[in-house]
Structure 1
Amino acid sequence: MTPILRVQDKISWAGFILGASALGAIVAIYAFEVISRYVFGAPTLWASDFVSFLLLISVFATAPWLTREGGHVAVTIVPDMLPAFRDAILRAGFLLAAGVCLWASWICLGENIYLYNRGTETLTTIRIPKWTLSAFITYGLLNSGLYFLRLAFQRGTPGAHDA
């Protein structure tokens, strides 16, 4: 494997750890909110906002690693019914998925730049710059698209792990 692909894998693994940590933080925040609200009668103002932010981060930070590992949604009825064309159908599907992800990441990048230039913030109790959240969407789509390209052009059976 080339060094650049190893770097992509390390970045994606770090994103996976970040996303998993975000899920853990969601659980902790909800537990704190429940105790704060029902035991002490003092609900937080920030818990719902942070859970929303962390949910977005968890989805888009983990998506590339899950794509690498074949954890994405895959409906394989057509390739399974046509075994002679299975590899070609899977490769075409990976190319289509790559195109959609890369196209969407390009649109998101433009939106990130727009949000940054305008200084747009979230309309939540805890206000943060929106681009800091939308950057995770761009990252997840871009890196997943690159993994779909790797899957489409890898040697051997498409979708088999290439570590």
Structure 2
Amino acid sequence: DIGTGNKATPLALGAGHVNPNRALDPGLVYDVGVQDYVNFLCALNFTQKIITAITRSSVNDCSKPSLDLNYPSFIAFFNAGNSSKTTQHFHRTVTNVGEGQTAYVASITPIKRFRINVIPNKLVFKKKNQKISYRLSIDGPRMIQKNKVSFGYLTWKDEKHVVRSPIVVTTPSFNL
């Protein structure tokens, strides 16, 4: 990280550097609509006044609040000192914007002491613009060190594309 002189992490890089030529043909995209953001803001307990200021709409439906935003990254918070094993689940939907029929296979760059699972681990698309959902689960250890931030990746690959999403696990009050 040029700002701190420390090694850059996914918190600074996200999914990585963008290749402008490949960005024109990303393969998969994570669509997020206005209502998805409203659901997220509602789950964060933003007031209607603040949500209206952000969305510039006076009609905001908070009937389905959700912290699980359809975003190409994952951050799981585990309580330090918790003696029970914890699992966090994330639901995502990807859209095939590639040429048509294709299959993506998942691979996980693991995080020490955590078990990460994706179901299904293969996405078979029959046509362009088809959407398929998957679930990523992260099983945490019985004890996690306070302020420790650990990283892994979920990578979807077909014959042409590589779509990488960072996975971050930490405690709720970590220091950047």
Provide TM-score, normalisation by structure 2. Answer: 0.28
User: Which of structures 1 and 2 has the bigger CA Rg?
Assistant: 1
- State TM-score, norm by structure 1: 0.29
